[in-house]
Amino acid sequence: MNGVLITFEGVEGSGKTTQMRRLARWLRAKGHRVECTREPDGTRLGLAVRGLFELRPEPLVEVFLFMAARHQHVAEKVRPWLERGRVVLSDRYADATVAYQGYGRGIDPNLVRELNVRATGGVLPDLTLLFDVDPAEGFRRMRGRRRDRFEREPLAFHRRVRRGYLEILRAEPKRVRLVRAGEAPDVVAAAVRASVEEFLRGA
C-alpha cells in the first residue's frame, strides 16, 4: 500500500492528541507501519518556531512561521515516510492554519490555502479527522494545564476557529470526517477506528 497521511484537527481540548495515540496502537496491532508526528514542532526547526509565538508576532507573520515549519516538516519527515509506505498520523497540519490564522485571526483563508500548497509541495491529507467540541467544553477539560499562546486566547477567538473548521468540513466532506468529540473517550475511539478502517479499505 502507498503511504497515506491522516491528520487530526480540532479546537483546544478536543482530545485529538489522545485519540491519535490510541489509533496508532490499534493500527500497529493490525500490522500497519505507523509514524506519529505533530505540528508545528515535529522537527527541531518547528520546535524553535513554536517558541517564537510567545513573542506575539503579527497574524501574517504567524502564517509565515507556520509555513516555514510545515515545509521543513514535510521535507524532513512526512514525504520520506509516505514514500516508504507508512501510515502517517499528524496532530495538526495544513487545515489548522486555515482555521486559526484564517478564521481566527482574519487572514484571507484563500491566501492561507495557497501558501499551504506551496509549503507542502502538494503533500495534503488523504483523510482528516475533525474533533468537534464546543470550545468552552475544551477549556474545561484543560483546567490545571499550562497553556501556550493560542490556548490563552479568548473564547471568542476559539469559537471563530471552530467555525473555520466546520467551513472546511462543509467544503470538503469527502476528505474531512466529523468526530463528535464530546462523547465518552471509548465512543470517540470507536468512531475514529470506523472512519479510518473505511478509508483504508478504499485506499
What is the band of 132 on the pLDDT scale with cuts at 50, 70, 90? very high
Per-residue pLDDT, averaged over 87-99, amounts to 98
Query: Which amino acid does the sequence have at 146?
Result: R
**3-class secondary-structure state, position 198:** helix
Q: Residue 191 and residue 95: Cα distance in Å, rounded?
A: 21
pLDDT at 151: 87
Whole-angstrom Cα distance, residue 152 to residue 6? 27
Is 134's pLDDT higher than 60? yes
How many distinct structural domains can be found in the chain? Answer: 1
Residue 133: CB atoms within 10 Å: 23
- Is 60 exceeded by the pLDDT of residue 1? no
Taking only the tens place, the pLDDT of each residue in 151-185 is 889 999 999 999 999 999 999 999 999 999 999 99
Q: Using 50, 70 and 90 to split pLDDT, how confident is the model at 144?
A: confident
CATH number at residue 115: 3.40.50.300
ω before 40 within 30° of 0 (cis)?
yes
Q: Locate 9 and state its grid cell.
A: 484537527
Q: Which domain holds residue 78?
A: 4-202
> Which candidate, 9, 10, 14, places its Cα nearest to that of 138?
14
Look up the pTM and report it.
Answer: 0.95
